[in-house]
Chains A and B, each alone.
Chain A
Amino acid sequence: MKGISPVLRARGLRRDYGHQAGLVHAVDGVDLEIARGETVAIMGPSGCGKSTLLYLLGGLDRPSGGEIWLDGQDITQLKERRLAYVRREAIGFVFQAFQLMDELTAVENVELPALLAGRSPRAARRRAEELLERVGLADRSRFLPTQLSGGQRQRVAVARALVADPALVLADEPTGNLDSAATADVLRLFASLHQAGQTLVIVTHDTRVAATADRTIPMRDGAFSNRKG
């Protein structure tokens, strides 16, 4: 554990789908604590519930039970609007399929969360350009996503996740759609974020990604099986 107080704490987290005979426990009683500056990898096979867990932790989905505390605030009790503010200010998402807007250039994609947070267009653009430089894409800032390689798109997505200086970055299979070279690029980027003290939770089934983490938590059938680290 790197920091003193945990950035994120989850207790008895559950997410159920369906009813009665068709009831599925996608996340089944997860307890988790992430310290500030820590990088945690959650590993497991497809369908084990790790992406669902990530969306619960990021406030994109509501749990069926349990609680999640982010920076000392119970986000499970928040109304939709407050939860949106939390996502805007405290959480950055990196998705497997990049989820960039095709009609926006790299810099326009990166600045979008800053505009959502109410920053001035000029400040948002300045911050986006800084981050693109940091991820090594300063010369590609005016490119559309379709003009970038997979690795470059994911680096844009990482820059976008960082634009609001979030307390926590959640990455869902960030290398799932990338080749080896691009995967190596993204891993280097995560390593540099880790060194800079950024708290990261990465969901993956790639052992190379998990190897960069401080802790690896295996997950199976919606629950943590045993912990390595």
Chain B
Amino acid sequence: MGRLLLICRLAARDTRRHLAQAILLLLAVTAATTVLTLGLALSGVTSSPYQQTRAATKGPDVVATLSDPGQAKSLVHASGVTGYSGPFPQLDAVVQLHGITAGVEAEGRAQAPVAVDQPKVLSGTWVQPGGVVIEREFADALGASVGDHLTINGHQFTVDGIAVTAATAPYPNICYSGCYINPFWYSYGITAHKIGLVWMTESDVTSLATKANPMSGYILNLRLSQPGQAAAFVSQYSSNANNAPLLTSWQQIASSDALLISDEQSVLTPGAILLGLLALASVAVLVGGRLAENRRRVGLLKAAGGTPGLIGATFLAGNLILALIAAAIGLVAGRLAAPLLTNPGAALVGSPGAPAITAGMVAGVVGVALVVALASTLVPAIRAARSSTISALNDSARPVRRRGRLISLSSRLPIAVLFGLRLAARRPRRTLLSAAGIAVTVCGIVALLTFHAAVDAELHGTTTAGAGLANPVVSRDGQMLVVITVVLAILAAITAIFTAWATVLDARRASALMRALGATSRQVSAGLAWAQVLAALPGAIIGIPLGIGLFDVLSKGATGFPQSEWLVVTFIGTLLVVAGLTTIPARIAARVPPPQVLQAGAD
């Protein structure tokens, strides 16, 4: 018990003495655990709003798209069907509003309410002759309001209302369950993600049909006696035959509604992994730096009878406690931030509220935090435990690695680069961790650039169709990528300063000696900065393909490649930022008079 108390007391004192490093460790692990909590918390979050929308709109259990209204007869009399509406004519058309051109599926409806799928009007009125009602997510993307005038296939209509439905996947996923892309749309450069839904009177839809662009189909909404059996009904009545009805169950529509959230998850999960990796690299560098500062203290503890186990446990205890605190903060912050992301979008009514924190989620988040702390602290803790008491008391530097070929090659380089290269080579683990931290950050930045390049390609393509048309999935994913990348960049910047500080501490004798031998303080501080830049160089190079690869994994098929100018700016910018940030501790270190360090080494 006394030993445990001693370990806790030493760990607490050590944390207090190195408050800045403790805060950074806390920040790094908290960022990873918060994002992880968010990723885990989003599972199944849209089911509640979809059910609310389904109830509010008398949503169908199965939606059938027919090529001929006559196909409805066999379906409405099928076993288990207790109600229906339709068939309603549907026309593939082109809408133009505020200079935006997009595709629409225009559905002809009666003005009177129907028993199955009666869209809920949220503003304005239900369909009237000469007017349209627009699905809310699509209306938001178009920037449409009640009373606006728009054209459909060149004919002018007024926006009568804005509504939601549970019968169709909302914009931009209207084709999620499969749809036929009319060649008519192709001629306008309209692709599957630029199509929305509008309702009009049946007579207005019929009036828009031409020989060249006839009705694309008829919509039949079915209610079943057992809604849970909708998927089985769809399998039973689906056929591969030409012009056979295309059946969609409400569960398929619900999953397409969840796309907005599941897309967020597909960004958050790799984001949490990136932040976790960066936290690992950052904490490992921090702990290593702290060990360099604490060598004399380790020696004192050992001289006073501290066993290697006690030394190692002291190092581990402090960081594990900080990791547990970070996990707790991450869980709370993730839960509080979740409502910002769980908004199911304008296509549904109701909100899911804050997600519950489950035991599995707690175990996952705490586990990740502990793994990060343990993996990053274990090596320095073992190193501290094994260190020689005498050399630790003398505060002598740890033995350094010799890289003969590199030393020989570096003798041809300018003094600052020579010194930097040799410093980087002395501590390969730290160099590797710095490179890994930079690689993770550049990976995030390049993934963001690739994302924007893909969005540009998708939105603008080779035509102007869809230009200016907002895409809620893209907007949310983009916002999250920006937030994750900014957090990555901030953490990486702070880590770069601490890494430089660790290098400065570790190289204080070499720096003092270089100055005694005739190097200027500017050469020495430039050398210290070069050590960080040289470590960042491979990280920045590797981060670029990693970022493109990461986007490839996230995008599920979307293609994009950032402009080479931006990649060059990212690469050079990263190195310049690293150089700039590390110059601060390097300059501070260069102010220490060499005798102070050299005399300490002669004790």
Contact = CB atoms under 8 A, between A and B. Distances in A.
B588 to A, nearest CB: 15
Interface in A82-131: 84-85, 87-89, 93, 95-97, 99, 101-105, 108, 111-113, 115-117, 121, 124-125
A116 B517 CA distance: 8
A99 B602 CA distance: 9
B593 A84 contact: no
A61 B593 contact: yes
B525 to A, nearest CB: 11
A80 B520 contact: yes
B223 interface: no
A99 B599 CA distance: 10
B399 A87 contact: no
B64 to A, nearest CB: 77
B595 A99 contact: no
Contact of A112 (B401, B515, B517, B595): B517
Contacts of B401: 103
Interface string B577-603: 000000000000000011100110110
Nearest to B593: A61
B407 A116 contact: no
B402 A144 contact: yes
A87 B516 contact: yes
Contact of A96 (B403, B407, B517, B602): B602
Instruction: Tell me which of A84, A87, A176 has the highest count of chain B C-beta atoms within 10 A of its own C-beta.
Output: A84
B412 interface: yes
B594 to A, nearest CB: 5
A22 to B, nearest CB: 17
A81 interface: yes
A173 interface: yes
Nearest to A83: B520
A219 B308 CA distance: 45
A216 interface: no
A102 B400 contact: yes
B517 A101 contact: no
B426 interface: yes
Interface in B518-539: 518-523
Contact of B518 (A61, A101, A111, A117): A117
B513 interface: yes
Contacts of B403: 103
B411 interface: yes
B331 interface: no
Given A61-B595, A95-B602, A103-B400, A84 B513 contact: no
B210 to A, nearest CB: 82
A144 B403 CA distance: 12
A106 B402 CA distance: 13
Interface in A60-91: 60-62, 80-81, 84-85, 87-89
A39 interface: no
Instruction: Tell me which of A60, A164, A173 has the highest count of chain B C-beta atoms within 10 A of its own C-beta.
Output: A60
Sorting the interface of chain A by its residue count into under 10, 10 to 19, 20 to 34 or 35 or more gives 35 or more
A116 B415 CA distance: 6
Interface string B370-390: 000000000000000000000
B422 interface: yes
B253 to A, nearest CB: 67
Interface in B412-467: 412, 415, 418, 422, 425-426
Contacts of B273: none
Given A99-B601, A103-B402, A121-B411, A81 B518 contact: no
B514 interface: yes
A60 B516 contact: yes
A84 B521 contact: yes
Sorting the interface of chain B by its residue count into under 10, 10 to 19, 20 to 34 or 35 or more gives 35 or more
B595 A84 contact: no
A60 B595 contact: yes
A117 B109 CA distance: 89
Nearest to A89: B518
Contact of B418 (A99, A102, A115, A172): A115
Contact of B515 (A84, A125, A176): A84
A111 B402 CA distance: 17
Contacts of B8: none
Nearest to B394: A97
Nearest to B398: A102
Given A80-B520, A88-B517, A113-B517, A103 B599 contact: no
A164 B518 contact: yes
Contacts of A51: 595, 599
Interface string B497-527: 0000000000001100111111111110000
A115 B411 contact: yes
Contact of B517 (A81, A87, A108): A87
Interface string A28-65: 00000000000000000000000110010010111000
Contacts of B514: 112, 116
A81 B598 contact: no
Contacts of B593: 60-62
Given A95-B598, A103-B400, A121-B411, A80 B521 contact: yes
A104 B418 CA distance: 13
Contact of B411 (A87, A101, A111, A177): A111
Given A51-B595, A51-B599, A101-B510, A88 B518 contact: yes
Contacts of A62: 593
A116 B519 contact: yes
Nearest to B412: A121
Contacts of A58: 516
A117 B519 CA distance: 9
10 contacts: A51-B599, A60-B515, A85-B520, A87-B516, A95-B516, A99-B516, A103-B400, A103-B426, A115-B415, A146-B399
Give me the 9 closest cross-chain CB pairs, A-B, nearest first.
Answer: A88-B518, A97-B602, A84-B520, A103-B402, A55-B595, A121-B411, A87-B518, A96-B602, A113-B517
Given A84-B521, A93-B516, 14 more contacts: A51-B595, A52-B595, A55-B594, A61-B594, A87-B515, A99-B601, A103-B400, A103-B407, A104-B402, A105-B404, A111-B411, A112-B514, A121-B411, A176-B602
Interface of B: 397, 399-404, 407, 411-412, 415, 418, 422, 425-426, 509-510, 513-523, 593-595, 598-599, 601-602
